Structure 1
């Protein structure tokens, strides 16, 4: 199958998303660290589909999401650098390879940064619930996440189907 290795620079859009996603994620880690001494020993560890706390756990669990986020940031960032390893339709050829690579990388970049923002929001909410400032994530959180993650995937698939 045709899979050339191309060095395609990141677009301004991808760089912008990296700054926004990475920035919000880093701010959430700084927020956790800054609030650490004010947190109770037990914090929300899980939320149900309605956004209500359904399990409490040790405050050390607050570092699970940032840990997963850092792993995703690194892993998906590396995967963005090798678009020739992504999955493509059989119609990939010399005339459309760049469009396919850029589209695939853009989808991956959007998902990576949305996950970082999602993990940051959940981390902020966990701290705020633990401090008694809010009750939970809210019923709207799960639908917004599902729609938010679904949109880049659907957009990317539509864009991919239009590549000749």
Structure 2
């Protein structure tokens, strides 16, 4: 297939994102490792829309959250290496494919960073709540997360529509 022959070489943006994801991934394991012995046996594992804990479980769940964060972030990063697998809304020329592949890759990289940092924030706050330093997540967590999650998608869709 022709679309699979187009290769987008990693640029500075890609390298910075990879560095950020590696750093975030390390923190997702170092923070629970550091605090694990201090955590009570039961910790918050779910928060409502207002950021208050409404579900509790064993402290080992902190590792599951860290693993989910890393799998999602690095899975998305790996997906960007194959932009031909993405779904595009129209038949496109080779020149347009290059542009759309780049936009798709950038959108996905931005989403990987947002997801990684969101889960890192959840791990940090779960530790803080479990140790009674905080009562819950910020009241602004949910709206900020939604804005951060949708912003790259809207931005790159708009760019691709303007680049016809």
Aligned to 1:26: 26
Aligned to 1:16: 16
Asked whether the 8 Å contact 2:21–2:74 carries over to 1, the reply is no
Aligned to 2:96: 96
| Deviation for aligned residue 1:122 | 0.3
In 2, Cα distance between the equivalents of 1:140 and 1:160? 30
| Deviation for aligned residue 1:68 | 1.2
1:23-79 deviation line (CA, Å, top 9, x unaligned)? 123213201101111111011111001101111110011112212122213321221
Aligned to 2:109: 109
Aligned to 2:56: 56
How many residue pairs match? The answer is 164
In 2, Cα distance between the equivalents of 1:116 and 1:29? 12
In 1, Cα distance between the equivalents of 2:16 and 2:122? 22
Give 4+ residue runs of structure 1 displaced > 6 Å after superposition.
none
Residue pairs, 1:2-151, within 5 angstroms: 3-151=3-151
Normalised to the residue count of structure 2, the TM-score between the two structures is: 0.93
Q: 3-state SS of the aligned residue for 2:56?
A: strand
**Which structure 2 residue ranges, 5 or more long, are not aligned?**
none
1:101-150 deviation line (CA, Å, top 9, x unaligned)? 10000001110111011110000000011111111102110000001101
**Which structure 1 residue ranges, 5 or more long, are not aligned?**
none
Please tell me the root mean square deviation across aligned C-alpha atoms, in Å: 1.6
| Deviation for aligned residue 1:91 | 4.1
